[in-house]
Chains A and B, each alone.
Chain A
Amino acid sequence: MLGAEVTFDVALPKVVWGWLVSTNMWAKSIATGTFLLGLYFIKKYPEQDNFFRKWLPILGIIFIGITLLVTVLDLHHMFRFWKIFVFAHFTSAVTLGAWVVSAFVIVLLIAFWSWVTGNKKLLDRIMIPGFILAFFSTIYTAGIMGEATAREVWVFPAEMISMLLSAMIAGSAAYLVVDAIYGNVLKEEIRRELGYILFGSAGLAAAMFIGELFFAKIHSEFAYKTIEILAFGDVAPFFWGGMFLTFIIPMVLVGIANENKKYQYAFLGALSAIVGLWLIKHAWLIAPQYLPLS
């Protein structure tokens, strides 16, 4: 007997989690990445900490605000979002994430207050809890994806590492963009270091994608099909666009900028990384949703 074909069925959803969720992950990478890198630069370059003490809370609040907004908008019962706090189910990474991000918002507000009042000690006191909360805010989505059992390419801990790298890409790129807009206010040394962080995290993230998709042993047929869709199917424009804009273009431009001290290239590379990150997140999110499950 030869091939089999479905000849009668109900219509099935193609994409359940769409662009709002991609935007959530993208904005969260920027918010947490700028926080984590901001702390590092405040510690390492206390002589230029004003830049980071200002932009760490501003970028954090804007982008975590976007994250929260799209998260609530994506709920089919958006006015019930509070139930996650009163009927919390702690086996769910969604619940853990909501709690951790809420605490992170408080830290960002304190950091903002610290900058407004010039009370540096305030931020210094919450650096450690802030670091922990930003770290877990970055990785909890990987936990959700790991729990989304129907989508076999989203595996923990590979997702977790990928999200940390995304935060590093987004954080360094965001600071490079802000620095360029405000007329290269950062010391050259810091700008170069931001460039190296962007270069290194983009390189590692690209290697992870390529390795996982094309060289790893794929055990399930489901994962294999998803990769076909990602690389050659409907999602391919997002995927390849994301690969070029997030990884290849920033690496080349930041490389040129740091080698030749032409920092306008770093600005372009950083912009490209920020746009590309949304594309690659979107591709990775929707590709496994294209397959029939039943």
Chain B
Amino acid sequence: MRLGFLVDLSRCMGCMACAVSCKAENNVPLHSWRLRVKYIDQGEFPETKRHFVPLRCNHCDNAPCERICPVSALHYLPNGIVNVDHERCIGCASCMMACPYNAIYLDPITNSADKCTYCAHRIEVGMMPACVVACPTHANIFGDLDDPESEISKYLQEHRDVMVRKPELNTHPKHFYVRGSTVALDPLASERPEGYTLFTDVEFLDHIGGH
């Protein structure tokens, strides 16, 4: 079994139900995220387009975070999930430096690294990840990549525009996007003006990882 995720970006309407359910399910503190939906506006009026991109850990088959963790706090589960052991983590932040997708945060309460685990605790008892359940448009498709009959496998077979983030890094993400675009998936394809924009404060925190 190799569990994977797929987001059909044409279905995502940026409602944030997934992000909110993830926060609630996993006790994710303020200023931290396991799953977030980024908005990117493109073009000039009247030629404009808004992209919504749910971002989470890609559960890479070749995960740099797992490789660099000095104490194996980040480890693979037999179903392919890259899991975190909070008790073992020494908080060195090496995983944050290794993950090219910025998917890991240091929990300010537990002081341990954390990230999306595809809700491993729910999977264990036969449930779907919280974000999949919460999505009103079924944009999140989750399942076994090794099973050709699973919904995710069928989606992957039927769509020719399957994308992953930063494929050139050979991390082999198990998180796919269909009907996506470079603007949505490449962090350098869009400007990131600091300060208030249409909805919120887009900013860099000066020193969140340090002390």
B-binding residues in A (CB < 8 A): 1-18, 20, 73-78, 80-81, 83-84, 87-89, 91-95, 98, 144, 147-151, 220-222, 225, 289-294
Contact = CB atoms under 8 A, between A and B. Distances in A.
B199 A8 contact: yes
- In the A-B complex, the 3 residue pairs with the smallest Cβ-Cβ separation, listed nearest first, are A76-B91, A16-B209, A8-B39
A147 B94 CA distance: 9
A89 B91 contact: no
Contacts of B88: 83, 87
Contacts of B38: 6, 8-9, 294
A81 B88 CA distance: 10
B71 interface: yes
Contacts of A222: 188
Contact of A94 (B94, B101, B189): B94
Measured as residues with beta carbon below 8 angstroms from the partner, the interface class of chain B is: 35 or more
A16 B97 contact: yes
B20 interface: no
A229 B211 CA distance: 24
Nearest to A289: B97
B135 interface: no
A292 B102 contact: yes
A144 B70 CA distance: 10
A92 B68 contact: yes
Interface of B: 14, 31, 33, 36-44, 47-51, 55, 64, 67-72, 88-94, 96-103, 106, 111-112, 165, 168-169, 171, 183, 187-193, 197-211
A18 B210 contact: yes
A87 B71 contact: yes
B90 A81 contact: yes
B42 A15 contact: no
Contacts of A3: 42-43, 190-191
B108 to A, nearest CB: 9
Nearest to A71: B92
B200 A293 contact: no
Contact of B41 (A4, A18, A84, A95): A4
A89 B169 CA distance: 22
A13 B207 contact: yes
29 contacts: A1-B49, A2-B42, A2-B47, A4-B191, A6-B40, A6-B202, A7-B50, A7-B200, A8-B38, A10-B33, A11-B204, A11-B205, A13-B207, A13-B208, A15-B206, A75-B91, A75-B92, A76-B111, A80-B91, A83-B90, A89-B69, A94-B69, A147-B64, A147-B94, A148-B98, A149-B171, A292-B187, A292-B188, A294-B187
A22 to B, nearest CB: 11
Given A8-B199, A15-B207, A92 B70 contact: yes
B99 to A, nearest CB: 6
Contacts of A294: 38, 55, 101-103, 165, 187
B32 to A, nearest CB: 8
Nearest to B185: A294
Most B CB atoms within 10 A — which of A5, A8, A14, A74?
A8
Most B CB atoms within 10 A — which of A15, A220, A293?
A293
Contacts of A6: 38-40, 190-193, 197, 202
Given A89-B71, A94-B68, A4 B98 contact: no
A281 to B, nearest CB: 15
B39 to A, nearest CB: 4
A7 B49 contact: no
Nearest to A98: B70
B210 A11 contact: no
A148 B187 contact: no
A1 B210 contact: no
Contact of A10 (B36, B51, B64, B94): B36
Most A CB atoms within 10 A — which of B38, B92, B199, B204?
B92
Given A4-B191, A293-B187, A75 B205 contact: no
Contact of B67 (A73, A80, A91): A91
Nearest to B56: A294
B70 A94 contact: yes
A208 to B, nearest CB: 22
Contacts of A94: 68-70, 92, 94
A10 B42 CA distance: 19
Nearest to A19: B210
B209 A13 contact: yes
A289 B200 CA distance: 23
Contacts of B96: 13, 16, 150
Contacts of B106: 76
